[in-house]
Amino acid sequence: MGFMPTSTSRRAQHYEELLNRLEGEVIKLRHSPDWLRYLQCQARFHRYSPRNVLLIAMQRPEATFVAGYRTWESLDRHVRRGEKGISILAPLIQRQDGADDTLKGFRWVRVFDISQTEGAPLPSPVRLLEGAGPSHFFDRLVQVANTFGFNVAHHNLPDGVNGECRWASHVIAVEGRNEPLQQVKTLAHELGHVILHRFEANRAKAEIEAEAVAFVVLATHHADTSPYSAGYLSSWIGETEDPVQAIRSSCDAIHHAATTILDRLDASCDPQQQQGASS
């Protein structure tokens, strides 16, 4: 039926081998020109204060990358005509020769989300997956989602968003314009969130765990998601953190969620087992 090793020790060895492989892909990516270009691009985006983060969320909740008009131009992107800027507060600094800068107050400035711009794509360490996933795998993962009380629906999501776990409505939204393998990987990722992250406040930790879960689940069924997963993990791990430690610190959670999904995938092949998994 499934490809999952049956004994606890064999499962542990299986996960160990897969995580070693994933860690190797992350480390290899971090020595590539793609990663350097990504970091150079990220350096152009300001780290906004909590107050400005709140202002951005109030005016444009779906915002992902926010920058000023000239910053977008420097990245070969242009704000579309007629777009309404997001108002935030910028410090008003008085500079004097031979003296420390003085904060005189704040002024309102306008910034724009990437969805309000057009032009060259931003450098990214992530490559969307292409091709087909394992046979009928998406439909079987939908059945797994149903056992947790979640429905799965295809949506046209904002640029750069491939999936969403919508807790309030118990819906997993998957970007329907992506290729089948990417959709399958996204659904496995969102199932990782369903199992592990209902009350997780650390977003980076949650994304690292969910992506590692998706990698393990797909790799167990002989589908390689590393062209996407390595870049995704790298972007959430950050520039200075040890990638191996970041993944290993969540080993137990990754093992638990991957095992849960793989067991329920096997049960989905047998109606009687599936009924038991749903209870």
Helix (H) or strand (E) holding 239: none
Residue 146 corresponds to which tokens in the numbers above? 């149903």
Tell me, what's the pLDDT at 276? 44
Regions in the chain scoring below 50 on pLDDT:
1-2, 273-279
Closest by CA to 158, choosing from 173, 145, 169, is 173
Closest by CA to 49, choosing from 35, 28, 66, is 66
Residue 44 corresponds to which tokens in the numbers above? 């152009």
Write down the domain spans for the chain: 8-31+126-278, 44-119
Alpha carbon 233 to its chain centroid, in Å, reads: 8
Helix (H) or strand (E) holding 89: strand 86-94
Tell me, what's the pLDDT at 213? 96
213-242 pLDDT tens trace: 999 999 999 999 999 999 999 989 977 788
Cβ pair 256, 195 in contact under 8 A: yes
Tell me, what's the pLDDT at 233? 94
The residue type found at 275 is Q
Closest by CA to 184, choosing from 254, 132, 258, 257, is 132
Tell me, what's the pLDDT at 277? 41
Helix (H) or strand (E) holding 184: helix 180-196
Tell me, what's the pLDDT at 64? 80
Tell me, what's the pLDDT at 98? 64
For the chain, the distance separating the N- and C-terminal CA atoms, rounded to the nearest angstrom, is: 21
CA dist 103 and 124 (Å) reads: 36
Tell me, what's the pLDDT at 91? 84
Average pLDDT across the chain, whole number: 87
Tell me, what's the pLDDT at 45? 76
CA dist 181 and 155 (Å) reads: 16
Tell me, what's the pLDDT at 6? 58
CA dist 147 and 267 (Å) reads: 11
